[in-house]
Amino acid sequence: MMVPGLPCLAWCRDYHRHTLARDLVAATIVTVMLIPQSLAYALLAGVPAQMGLYATVLPLVAYALLGSSRTLSVGPVAIISLMTATAVGEVVASTGADYITATIALALLSGLILLLMGLLRLGFLVNFLSHPVVAGFITASALVIALGQLPALFGVEAGGDNLLALSSSLLATAPAAHPWTLALGLLALGLLLLARRLVPALQALGVPSTAAQLLCKASPVLVVFITAALARWLAVEQAGVALVGEIPGGLPTLAIPLVLPELWRELLDSALLIAIIGYVESVSVGKTLAAKRRQRIDPNQELIGLGAANVTSALSGGIPVSGGFSRSVVNFDAGAATPAAGLFAALGMALAALYLTPYLYYLPKATLAAVILVAVFQLVDFSHLRRAWHYSRSDFVAIATTIALTLLLGVEVGVMCGVAASLLLHLYETSRPHLAVVGEVPGTEHFRNVERHQVVTHPGIISLRVDESLYFANAGYIEDAIYGRVAQQPGVRHVVLMCPAVNAIDLSALEVLESVNQRLAEAGVKLHLSEVKGPVMDCLGKTDFLSRLSGEVFLSQHQAVARLSDARPAQAQPLVGTFQAGESLP
């Protein structure tokens, strides 16, 4: 059972020796994987490499104590680092602020936003960011990140925050590629790709499948030391190869970031976007892994955990953090049983910051570019486009819009336009809900669409099923549909709105129903409702609509048709002729 506010109390009670062993093994493997990633993602964010290390110590501790997922691994991730570089770069260019100060402020702001959302229990708001939009954004961002690493791999100066700018800059500078840099970068890239293909070979030698996969995932550390040793032995620094250089050793110094109102105002929008994107990515990974062990995560508690991780990252001079997909999967596969694995990983990263940094001086930046390239290739997935095209054209448009605009205009514009497209498409679809004329399936009490099934209908009754809640955007469409159907069916005496899918009726829709009821009554046609849900009836009961309803409210459609088919004909003349949207009833 999860303890509200402090989930660690729940798993601490059942902690034992076997759990400790599993967590230690997982923490060791994650630490080995996290060392090169933290350095690489810090450089991707545009800050010194040690800030990546700092972002993996206290944030891991904070999340282990306050997060609800037992296997999520928190730290720097590619997408958030790219968004950080984009946001901070723009602010620094416009305000002249210090880059490192702005980065730390961005981490703090993101954390405070997440904490506030968690305290207000606003985890549900992130559901408005649809999965297709997130999937498209991640794919496009991964492509931008991959292209952005090619200059470091080639040893040239090139830049840009979108596909066109990066491509043109890279094409202009690629002929001047530095041979030694390119050689070391391609060596690192080849070794990393080769490691991913060694799993079958290791299994053939008798290595267990899980162990073989975990060894291959830890290969970046081996590549880091191989290329660093080669760079030192060959003295490539003198040949112009860019190295990571001196990384200050020791643990991060705790300090409260400067509160600069103007800087914070400039960063606020980006901080909100980074907080939401990081949260959505983390929760998606956390839910997936938790489901495999029949566990659950608390979305609101995740806001608290991730918020605390970002705040502590800022306090320790780090960059914005989130739950990492690849690290979390490795943590899960390695057998991590509790968030204590994160505590042990934090200890491992602290030891790395204390004792490992002197050995990273000769690490080529091209190696870190190769590490990022291999990591983000896993995030590129165009299968969502194909699936959406066959299943939902509106989702396809949302994904395609997000991908295209992220590639062409940058990450922030891309995700915001993707969200806007998704919401607009949803409004359009719900503004034209599915309406079905239904009839009774012979020998049953079930009613189905007359265009899909052989059913029994009655000439004096229109049974119209509404497959959407009624609100301001679709009320007019439903009104026109009712009038049009009545005008096309001579002799109609009753219209029954079948409402099993109607979960709400807003005030605009209620006023439309009142108008429909009155105008049908004037034409001698009664309006009835059937299968209205309890909460909807409660809302209608607060108005005088039910007392003015010309017809009745029936518990079931079968009951309505059985009653009305025996009713006496109405005295008024029925509607005749063809009705066009916008015309008045005769």
Is pLDDT of 17 > 70?
Answer: yes
The C-alpha atoms of residue 508 and residue 492 are separated, in whole angstroms, by: 27
Is pLDDT of 586 > 60?
Answer: no
Is pLDDT of 129 > 60?
Answer: yes
Q: Are 368 and 70 in contact (CB under 8 A)?
A: no
Instruction: Say which DSSP state 584 is in.
Output: P
Quote the percentage of the chain above a pLDDT of 70: 94
The C-alpha atoms of residue 550 and residue 563 are separated, in whole angstroms, by: 15
The C-alpha atoms of residue 21 and residue 24 are separated, in whole angstroms, by: 5
Is pLDDT of 286 > 90?
Answer: no
Domain boundaries, the chain: 8-424, 435-564
> Looking at per-residue confidence, does 326 or 187 come out higher?
187
Helix (H) or strand (E) holding 553: strand 553-554
The C-alpha atoms of residue 401 and residue 414 are separated, in whole angstroms, by: 8
Phi-psi region of 240 (alpha: psi -120 to 50; beta: other; left: phi over 0): left
Domain boundaries 435-564, corresponding CATH code? 3.30.750.24
Q: What is the pLDDT of residue 579?
A: 33
Decide the pairing of beta strands 322-323 and 74-75. antiparallel
* Mean pLDDT of all residues in 368-375: 89
> Looking at per-residue confidence, does 65 or 220 come out higher?
65
The C-alpha atoms of residue 123 and residue 117 are separated, in whole angstroms, by: 7
The C-alpha atoms of residue 487 and residue 43 are separated, in whole angstroms, by: 69
- pTM of the predicted model over 0.75: yes
Q: In this predicted model, what pLDDT tens digit does every residue of 498-525 receive, in sequence order?
A: 999 999 999 999 999 999 999 999 999 9
Structure tokens, 339: 């968030």
Radius of gyration of the chain (CA): 31
Q: What is the pLDDT of residue 105?
A: 95
Phi-psi region of 214 (alpha: psi -120 to 50; beta: other; left: phi over 0): alpha
How far out from the chain centre does Cα 453 lie? Answer: 39
Q: In this predicted model, what pLDDT tens digit does every residue of 383-420 receive, in sequence order?
A: 888 888 998 888 888 889 889 988 988 877 887 888 78
Point out which residues pair with 553 in neighbouring strands.
529
Q: What is the pLDDT of residue 575?
A: 33
The C-alpha atoms of residue 565 and residue 493 are separated, in whole angstroms, by: 10
Q: In this predicted model, what pLDDT tens digit does every residue of 452-510 receive, in sequence order?
A: 999 999 989 999 999 999 999 999 999 999 999 999 887 899 999 999 999 999 999 99
